[in-house]
Amino acid sequence: MFEVNGTYINRRGKYTVLSLNPPKMVVRYEDGETAELKIAIQARIWENIVVEQEAEAAKRSARSALGASGSKTQFFIKAVTVPSPSEFVFSGWAERVILAPESQADMLQPGDRIIYYAIETQTFIAVATITGAPKTADPKDFFYTVDLERACFFPVDVDAASVKLTTGVPDDSIELESQPNFRKLKLAPESFLKITEDDFELLAEILTEIAESDDDEDLEDEEFEEEDEE
């Protein structure tokens, strides 16, 4: 995978491979600092970054196509309920789908942007993009417990997410111009609340910073593991 003089990226930044000495390699970052890194770990990080870049390029292409066709991107808060606030698990998350009652499905479209809000922890926890047309199914197929026999399920791509529900963005730390009384609302599970692009970008930026911080901590842990092995 790696080649001498090849340029790659990890969570710290771009680097050039100076030498390959399996299972490790010597690299130089753009600031001139050199490091000896474990090839297997860096290969996994590089593959993840490439996947993220390809997904982002596909989303940009989809949004451009939607814009060319006259469709307008919409922005929503999606309220979800979690069985255990100590775990980042809720209906549809693992399957990367988002539920909409058939009566509400017409208001959603591919390209719409979503902020997930966990009712139990009162935190904004993830950013996602609807990537395709809906399919109708029994909610129980995706472990939903809503009182519906059929519902529409839109595929989503997750742009950023906090590692834990409790490390998301508390709703009392943000003022939403489009929903100034947000904290007083009694949001029902699986409901949608429309917001402006500015409010969406505010939340998305903070959640992205949280996600990147978590990635940096993971990278530091991996580097410590390498040092311990030496």
Amino acid identity for residue 70 in this structure: G
- Where are the chain's structural domains? 1-70, 73-213
Eight-state DSSP code of residue 179? -
β-sheet bridge partners, residue 79: 117
Q: Report the pLDDT value the prediction gives residue 136, as an integer from 0 to 100.
A: 94
Domain spanning 73-213, CATH class: alpha beta
Looking at residue 143, the DSSP 8-state letter turns out to be T
CATH topology of domain 1-70: SH3 type barrels. (2.30.30)
Q: Reduced to 3 states, what is the DSSP secondary structure of residue 55?
A: helix
With contact defined as beta carbons under 8 Å apart, do 68 and 105 qualify?
Answer: no
First CA to last CA distance, the chain = 23
CB-based contact 20:43 (threshold 8 Å): no
**What residues contact residue 69 under an 8 Å CB cut-off, 6+ apart?**
none
Residue pair 142/98 in contact (Cβ under 8 Å)? The answer is: no
Question: pLDDT (tens digit, 9 = 90+) per residue, 89-130?
Answer: 899 999 999 999 988 899 999 999 999 999 999 999 999 999
For 22-35, write each residue's pLDDT tens digit.
999 999 999 999 99
**Residues of the chain under the 70 pLDDT cut:** 59-71, 214-230
Q: What is the pTM of this model?
A: 0.67
pLDDT of amino acid 54: 80
Widest Cα–Cα separation across the chain: 60
pLDDT attached to residue 214: 60
pLDDT (0 to 100) of residue 68: 53
> Token digits for 226?
């390498």
